[in-house]
Structure 1
Amino acid sequence: MSTDYQQAREALGIRLRELRLTATDGRLTGPQLAQRLGWPHSKVYKLEGGRQTARPEDLNAWAAAVGRPDVAEELLTRLRGFESHIRSWRRQLASGHRPVQDAWNVAVDEARTIHVWEEAVVPGMLQTADYARHMFLRYADLHGTKADTEEAVRSRMRRQDWLYQSGHRFHALVWEAALHVLLCPPRVLAGQLDRLAGLVGMDTVELGIVPLGGPVRIPPANGFWVLDERLVIAEDWHSESWLDDGETVATYLKVWRTLRQAAVVGAEAQAVISRVHRVLSAR
């Protein structure tokens, strides 16, 4: 069981204990609460100690037994949160970047429609091999992980086969800032810009660029992917979250659609890419 998962389970247990000790009709001992619930008292202590995963019905019953049915939704939200997979980079990258890319390949292969927002880098499925190589090298330096760069690049490149399969749709939004970021040599970035320009008009890909200086209705914050409106994968500096509860997925799709309103596509997107290319060439 992951450290992240266990820590979240223990945090839920602390909250359950707090509710038992502050029950509306007076402090309850573990056996007293267990009697109300018709449970063995060991179950109460296992849940409070983070040694057993609660079921939704357990949490509803607990909230009612302590006289706090109003907190049931809070408890269920906590449960949904840690049942989604929070994958720390420290743990994931212990064996290098290749296994992470392989896991992504499995998830992507199961999808038919993907919505992506990236504010700082070109989306992985649109990257050239040279660009991807420099991304992996940068992150390996940051996290001090195994340098399996070439294996990771090959795995990421295989994922791009998805784009050429009938019935698939890849809706990518990229902030223009990502097209300027020199995390790689200028020649590599130039090749990446050429790759993006060539994708405009591809029948399985919609590429939108949110121009710098353009009006946006929400801050262009961290990148995320939505697979088939059933799974969100969002990255942060310390972890990658795989989120599958309906409300969360709906929120991310709303964010994506809001950002889409600020994007240019087609010939206008190509014009932005060409402008960035000219700025790069003039350096």
Structure 2
Amino acid sequence: MSDFFNNFDINEYLPIAINWSTNILLAVLILFVGFWLAGRAYKAVYSIGKKYERLDDTLFRFFGSIARYVIIAFVLIAVLNRFGVQTASVVALIGAAGLAVGLALQGAMSNLAAGVMLLIFRPYKVDEFIDAAGQFGKVTEVDLFTTILQTFDNQKIIIPNSEIWGQQITNHSFHPVRGVDMTFGVAYNADIDETRKVIEGVLAAHPKILKDPVPFVEVSTLNNSSVDFAVRPFCKGEDYFAIKFSVPEQIKKALDAANIEIPFPHRKVILVKED
């Protein structure tokens, strides 16, 4: 043991110890500053979505996470570089791994890209009724990969965003005032003016139908066995389904009370007697 200490030259190992200590201290400092900057970057990007009401929080939370992880990646590369690790090979390895993951998750990436577009352009929002990807319901959640709908019979439908983006999207809640299109047929012997008066009376008495715009009631089609009236009352968006499912019954009762016939499909057969 005494021979070890006699042969130990502190001047030989002191520069190495100082160099490693310096590198460790600098690495800790880089990590501290880097993680602080990553957190600040996340908050700065996320605050943009909170500042403007029309911007979606989910999208800017995602962008903030990307900014944070990119900074952390550069911080870790800088730390490795302090200890003499060849960072070029590390970057190449990370790139190859990212490419492999991207190829393995092509479907998920397409949903992610569609989710970003949906959150940027916002064709619909939570609590709005939409018709998309062959499904209809109220939007309960929109994230980067899926859109979740709640149907009238209380089912939960999860739709991948890639199936929505690029196809027709009908937003039933976008405008505050909506028209409710309905068609009613009456017999050819019915008085057209009287029929219009009965229908307009029902619409005028309904508490949820707006007076302005004025409801539209006009003859639209002369069918084989009926004269069809196109009826379009206007209402607030939240009252659309209340109007759609209550007015037909009220008009049917009003037409019956006025002795106006609502015809049903029938076929006229003529028998010819041969001598």
- TM bin (shorter chain): under 0.3
Instruction: Give the structure with higher Rg (CA).
Output: 2
Structure scoring higher RCO (CA < 8 A, sep ≥ 6) equals 1
TM-score, length of structure 2 as denominator length: 0.27
Counting strand residues as a fraction of each chain, which structure ranks higher? 2
TM-score, length of structure 1 as denominator length: 0.27
